Every structure is written in C-alpha cells, then in structure tokens.
Amino acid sequence: MDKEQLAKMVANKIDAALKSSEHPKKFFITENGRGVVDGGDLYNAVLKDALDVMKIAFVDILQELMTTPAPAPAPTPAPTKTTEKASKGSSRR
C-alpha cells in the first residue's frame, strides 16, 4: 500500500469517526481566552487543522510500521527440570 492509499484510508476513517460523534458546530475563543458557542468559522478551522495534523501523523506512523521489519521474537527460556525429590514433595497430601 503506498502513501496516497494510506492517506486516503486514514482520512476516510477520521471523517467517519468525526461524523459519528457529536461536537459543537459553533465555537470561538474571545480575547480573554474564554470559549463561546457562536461564530463557527474559527472552531471549524481549528478542528480542520487539528485533524489534518493527525492525518499526517497517522499516515507517517502507519507507513513506518509497514516498512520497518518486525523485531525477532524473544527466545523462549529453556524448560526447568524438576528433580525427583522436589516432585515427590509436591505430591504429598
């Protein structure tokens, strides 16, 4: 899968998730830093910018995961041998 296909898939998934969730449609921040529900252009611009950054990051992460070889599995420890004396002691009632 190339970067363009990956970017399209990520964009579709994020758009679907955005449509399935409820979020304020109109929001802006006043000069004193308070958020006010009204005037949706600023909120929509911030949301679009944040999602664009996430899309780029997700595509880069996924592409790196796809191209990086998987690490070798860790060796399994050798089975421990039980001594005859230890096995007799554990079967006592």
pLDDT value for 38: 57
pLDDT value for 84: 65
Closest listed residue to residue 55, CA positions, set 2, 9, 1, 19 = 9
Identify the burial level of 76 via C-beta atoms within 10 angstroms of its C-beta, where 0-12 means exposed, 13-18 middle and 19 or more buried: exposed
The arithmetic mean of pLDDT across residues 78-85, rounded, is 73
pLDDT tens profile 2-42 = 888 888 999 998 888 888 877 656 665 667 777 666 556 76
